[in-house]
Amino acid sequence: MLEVLQESLRKAPIVNRGEYPYFIHPISDGVPSLEPELLDEIAEHMISIAGTDYDRIVSIEAMGIPLATTLSLKTGIPFSIVRKRQYGLEGEVILSQSTGYSKGELYINGVNKGEKVLVVDDVISTGGTLKALLPALEKMGAQITNVIVVISRGDGAIQMRDMGYEIDTLVKIDVDQNGVSILEVAGEQQ
Ligand SMILES: O=P(O)(O)OC[C@H]1O[C@H](OP(=O)(O)OP(=O)(O)O)[C@H](O)[C@@H]1O
Ligand code: HPA
């Protein structure tokens, strides 16, 4: 299951971002090369979880964009990208994002009241990004049908469950100076 993803994670190099051991991977960084077969494997798996009964795919720049694009081409459903840049359009919603290594603002445009949305992203770590985004989408009147994140490291996904949000993740990993260890793969017995 998810063989291409697992193989690519085993090869991921680590760099330090302050105290945070940061893994570098095609899905989370677009580096060194994002292969179509990896995107295809992930998008097919996401569709097997979420189906196609939603009005919009929502993801976050930068590395949500290839995931949302692939899903949109496969499903014919449009997507909106939550940006790190302000546009000042009517209805734009501003939120604060905090990750293990950065802080900043996010700006939501294009999500309409009453829409069913699928939220996808590349990584959940501290959960800081989704903790800010999911309540904001609900406040805008969106109905979140599923939240699917490719790679889970740390306990962000568990914290989100405690907040009442179920996050599907395709693979759970641990990261240290030596590299990435795969702890769990969706759909596989441990
Ligand atoms: O669970 P968290 O601790 O919030 O971390 C997860 C977030 O970190 C990464 O985004 P980043 O802001 O690095 O943006 P990028 O996609 O531009 O690399 C990733 O794409 C998630 O959005
Ligand atoms: O270690 C990481 N690598 C890539 N993207 C990330 N997003 C959160 N943590 C990470």
Q: Is the CB of 28 under 6 A from ligand 2?
A: yes
The identity of residue 61, as a single letter, is E
On whether residue 133 sits in a domain, the answer given is yes
Angle at 132 between CA 169 and CA 157, to 5 degrees: 25
Integer Cα distance of 156 and 30 in angstroms: 22
On whether residue 190 sits in a domain, the answer given is no
Q: pLDDT at position 190, please?
A: 64
Residue (of 170, 156, 141) closest to 27 by Cα position: 170
Cα(169) to centroid(ligand 1), Å: 15
Residue (of 166, 160, 164, 158) closest to 183 by Cα position: 158
Prediction ipTM score: 0.96
Q: pLDDT at position 158, please?
A: 97
On whether residue 172 sits in a domain, the answer given is yes
Protein residue with least CA distance to atom 1, ligand 2: 22
- The number of domains in the chain is 1
Substitution site in 15, 24, 125 for ligand 2 pocket (most atoms within 8 Å of beta carbon):
125
Question: What is the atom index within ligand 2 of the atom nearest the CA of 124?
Answer: 8
What is the number of residues in the chain? 190
Which CATH number characterizes residue 107's domain? 3.40.50.2020
Cα(162) to centroid(ligand 1), Å: 20
On whether residue 51 sits in a domain, the answer given is yes
Q: What are residue 168's DSSP bridge partners?
A: 148
Q: pLDDT at position 189, please?
A: 74
On whether residue 50 sits in a domain, the answer given is yes
What range defines the domain where residue 110 resides?
3-185
Strand pairing class (56-60; 116-124): parallel
Q: pLDDT at position 31, please?
A: 97
Cα(4) to centroid(ligand 1), Å: 22
On whether residue 41 sits in a domain, the answer given is yes
The predicted-structure confidence for 116-162, as pLDDT tens digits, reads as follows 999 999 999 999 999 999 999 999 999 999 999 999 999 999 999 99
Residue (of 71, 131, 78) closest to 109 by Cα position: 78
CB 124 within 8 A of CB 130: yes
On whether residue 107 sits in a domain, the answer given is yes
Max CA distance (Å), the chain? 48
Which residues contact ligand 1 via a Cβ below 6 A?
A: 60-63, 99-100, 102, 121-129, 156
Question: What is the atom index within ligand 2 of the atom nearest the CA of 21?
Answer: 1
On whether residue 85 sits in a domain, the answer given is yes
Instruction: Pick out the chain residues at pLDDT < 70.
Output: 190
